[in-house]
Amino acid sequence: MPSIFTRIISGELPSSKVHEDARTLVIMDINPIQAGQLLVIPKVEISTVWELPEPDYQALMSSVRMAGRSLLKRFPDKKVGVKIEGLEVVDHAHVIVFPFSTADEYYAKPDSSNLPSKKELDRLAHELAY
């Protein structure tokens, strides 16, 4: 069965897209740690980034860097954090890129009681697009 990210990549499920290229997709996270949180997803469905073929790994890390730079432009008073995920949440490797100011914000857990609206996610995606 395809992962939720594969279904988003194929267009079967909606997302608020920030960037897409031949090997990666960057979308707004619907359950963010901090407002503006992005998910950088390789189009190859694989469990961990360490298993990615070299060209896909390089493309993923390039997209992570571009996503971080976009966040720094939009949130110039913040730092940008990165967390590499796979298996823990969904069986499809991905990187979380998010703005934060304090250690508490960096280590915070997503607050599912205060989820951003699709309209808000789309607005931020438009502002962060590159």
Residue 35 domain flag: yes
Q: What's the structural domain count of the chain?
A: 1
Residue 114 domain flag: no
Question: Which tokens hold the place of 70?
Answer: 């976009």
Residue 21 domain flag: yes
For the domain that residue 49 is a member of, what is the CATH number?
3.30.428.10
Residue 78 domain flag: yes
> Phi, psi at residue 125, to the nearest 5°?
-60, -40
Q: How many CB atoms lie within 10 A of CB 47?
A: 14
Residue 26 domain flag: yes
pLDDT 10s digit of each residue in the chain, 130 long? 889 999 999 999 999 999 999 999 999 999 999 999 999 999 999 988 999 999 999 999 999 999 999 999 999 999 999 999 755 566 789 999 999 999 999 999 988 888 999 999 999 999 999 9
For residue 93, the enclosing domain spans 4-107
Residue 119 domain flag: no
Q: According to the model, what pLDDT value does residue 92 have? A: 87
> Do residues 25 and 60 touch, judged by C-beta distance below 8 A?
no
pTM of the model: 0.94
Distance CA 82, CA 68 (A): 8
Q: According to the model, what pLDDT value does residue 112 have? A: 86
